[in-house]
Amino acid sequence: MSKIKTQDKDKRAGYYWSRVKEYGKKYQWFDWPSVEAFLNMTYTYDVISNHFSAKLQESGLSRSTLNMLNIISRSENKGCTHGELSELLLVSRPNVTGLVDSLVRRELAERRDSPGDRRLSIVKITKKGTQLLDAINPRYYLEIRKLAGGLTAAEHGQLNRILAKLRLKAFDLSNI
């Protein structure tokens, strides 16, 4: 990563690439290559997340509500329970309830009682929700393509393998 280019756009880089590296040396287990990799992942996530949040605000959606709409739209018209959405979005059930409430208020999704268990409700996308996704997703995927456009196919594969490996290690350490 080019530190100069990053520092020009994000003043935090100067702090992390100088001060953290020096400060961390006082800890026995501090490993700069590992810390640098995690700082790069965090920076990248933060910058991309903010970029997409700003783009989605134009449509009145958050990244979480877009993800939820995409998940329920792909449920083959069966819909999803709150528990399924919680697992797939990696958020708590109360947060899922708030997101679903927001989508229902905007008539982008609806709740229906589960035919097999009255204690469960099924969340389904509405026609209005489908139309919104049909308008947003092409631009969303184009934006992803632009952001990742500087990588070769081999680099995409390598990055995916590395991130999957880190994610599996995190699951192992978290006992999830």
Same domain, 2 and 51: yes
CATH number (domain holding residue 92): 1.10.10.10
73 lies in some domain:
yes
Same domain, 83 and 113: yes
Write out the DSSP string of 95-133.
HHHHHHHHHHHTTSEEEEE-SS-TT-EEEEE-HHHHHHH
What average pLDDT score do residues 138-152 get?
A: 93
Handedness of CA 146, 147, 152, 157 (dihedral sign): negative
Same domain, 13 and 39: yes
Give the model's pLDDT for residue 4.
Answer: 45
pTM for the full model? 0.78
70 lies in some domain:
yes
Same domain, 54 and 69: no
Decide if pLDDT at 157 tops 70.
yes
Same domain, 49 and 77: no
Same domain, 53 and 86: no
Decide if pLDDT at 5 tops 50.
yes
142 lies in some domain:
no
Give the model's pLDDT for residue 21.
Answer: 81
174 lies in some domain:
no
What three-state secondary structure class fits 91? coil
Domain housing 99: 63-126
145 lies in some domain:
no
Same domain, 48 and 93: no
159 lies in some domain:
no
From 8, 51, 17, 10, select the one nearest 37 (Cα to Cα).
17
From 88, 15, 13, 65, select the one nearest 43 (Cα to Cα).
13
17 lies in some domain:
yes
Same domain, 89 and 40: no
Give the model's pLDDT for residue 2.
Answer: 46
C-alpha dihedral, 59 to 62 to 67 to 70, nearest 10°: -20
Structure confidence at residue 171 as a pLDDT band (50, 70, 90): confident
pLDDT tens sequence across 14-39:
777 778 888 888 999 999 889 888 88
Give the model's pLDDT for residue 148.
Answer: 92
- Domain tally, the chain: 2
Structure confidence at residue 8 as a pLDDT band (50, 70, 90): low
Same domain, 73 and 46: no
More confident residue, 175 or 83: 83
Same domain, 53 and 89: no
